[in-house]
Amino acid sequence: MSDTHAQTVSYVRETMLAPQDPPRSQTGAVKWVHENLFSGWINTGLTLISLLVIFWLVSGISPWLLNSVWRAGSLSECRAILDGTSGACFAVIVDRWHQLLFGFYPPALYWRPVLALLLLFVALAPVLFTGLPRRMLAFSALYPFIGYHLIWGGSLWFPVTALMGFGVGALAYLLMRKLNNLAAIFAAILAPVLWWVFAAGPLDSALYSIMPLGLDFVRSDRIGGFLISMIVGVSAISLSLPLGILLALGRQSDMVFIKTVCVVFIEFIRGVPLITLLLFASLLLNFFLPPGTSFDLILRVIIMLTFFASAYMAEVIRGGLAALPKGQYEAADALGLDYWKAQRLIIMPQALKISIPGIVNTFIGMFKDTTLLVFIAILEPLALANAIRADTNWNGIYWELFIFIGALFFIFCFGMSRYSMYLERKLKTDHR
């Protein structure tokens, strides 16, 4: 452009403008509120109605919560302190929190379940977060035996002999692998079962007679509250995922026998209510065991919950496998990978990534389903709440106990939900 033409055009700048911040309406909280709450007349109307409902709920509940009594020995004493005004009697939580958390576990031994819970987080850390040293996975593998001994106590050699069963299974697999892979898998499953049924008990007794090491034994009927919910929930969650993966793979197998067994198992478990399986574990399972066999009720419940969750987990993972394009399977074949390497390196990681929301949803539902244990006389939190309300001191109290129990369940379930969102963001490979 010539100098003469530049002088005749008044709107052409000869200097650069300094950078400026975007308008406040296009950034931060103002932008979020505009886009999500007041983006149109329908959205605006729903937002205003929701605010009115929230205001009505808060205005009705907040005086009851703010006028709470935390120090009292009975419901009648709470009412005397309130003197006719509306207010919550959270003194029941202060008075019975130990029962809601530990059931009738001996108070002098509370340090054992607390230590088991702390070690649980240490064991889960390398599984849930990849930034930690992989050597910690060895402790994660040993934790079930450590946690069992801390909570139940008894002979130290019992979890040791149980752990030896897995070594027997690995040895059987190595010996049979030279003959046939399928026979090796069956041997790896059958050998530990035979070890636990016939050898673990006598060996435990023999070792304990030689070197009596262990902690004071706590009977299962003394364990209750959120402690039993954590034991059953975490155990079933940990066991159902690998079993669900195997069932999903078995359902897609070309081997007729394995596919039939997996289909029958999945469809039968999914077609039966959970409470039926729990009643079977509580009342009928002992009839199928040899006379004189002592099979702990909590262990029976863990097995049934694991079977129930694994059937649903198998369908969730099968959906992830079905969502993968056929090219992924062809790519694994083109690389010359065998079936298990293809599943481990290419197919299963992608299927699990797709299935994360469904997997976590199954975990959350299973953890909440531990409240059904009330129907088979296990002292989970709701059963203990009923027992507390049956006490003459607290007869007639309702909401305070249920609010406390619901808050604890919400904390655990919300934590699982947030972790699933973190995992989805971490594994996200596209840039949308």
The dihedral sign for the CA sequence 379, 381, 383, 387: positive
Segment 103-131 mean pLDDT? 91
Which residue, among 396, 402, 405, 401, has the nearest Cα to 75 in the 3D structure?
A: 396
Which residue, among 279, 315, 314, 309, has the nearest Cα to 297 in the 3D structure?
A: 279
pLDDT on residue 176: 81
d(CA 233, CA 312): 15
Kindly list the structural domains of the chain, giving each domain's residue range(s) and its CATH number in brackets, ordered by start. Answer: 67-105+220-432 (1.10.3720.10), 155-215 (no CATH)
Provide CB contacts within 8 A for 223, sequence distance 6+. 102, 103, 104, 105, 151, 152, 231, 298, 379
Residues 183-204 pLDDT 10s: 787 888 888 888 988 888 889 9
Residue entry with tokens 């419940």: 301
Q: What is the mean pLDDT of the chain?
A: 86
**Structure tokens belonging to residue 270:** 């999914």
Segment 284-299 mean pLDDT? 71
Q: Assign 5 a pLDDT band (cuts: 50, 70, 90).
A: low
Q: Assign 36 a pLDDT band (cuts: 50, 70, 90).
A: confident
Q: Which residues of 335-348 are buried (b: 16+ CB within 10 A; e: fewer)?
A: eebeeeebbeebbb
Q: For residue 264, is pLDDT > 90?
A: yes
* Cβ–Cβ < 8 Å for 45, 51: no
Q: Assign 3 a pLDDT band (cuts: 50, 70, 90).
A: low
**Structure tokens belonging to residue 101:** 């958390």
Beta bridge partners of 154: 215
* Cβ–Cβ < 8 Å for 268, 247: no
Residues 134-174 pLDDT 10s: 888 889 889 999 999 999 999 999 999 999 998 888 888 88
If phi > 0 it is left, if psi is from -120 to 50 it is alpha, else beta; for residue 225 that is left
Q: For residue 9, is pLDDT > 70?
A: no
Segment 368-382 mean pLDDT? 89
d(CA 310, CA 189): 17
pLDDT on residue 218: 92
- Cα torsion through 191, 192, 198, 199, rounded to 10: 110
For residues 408 and 175, which has the higher predicted lDDT (pLDDT)? Answer: 408
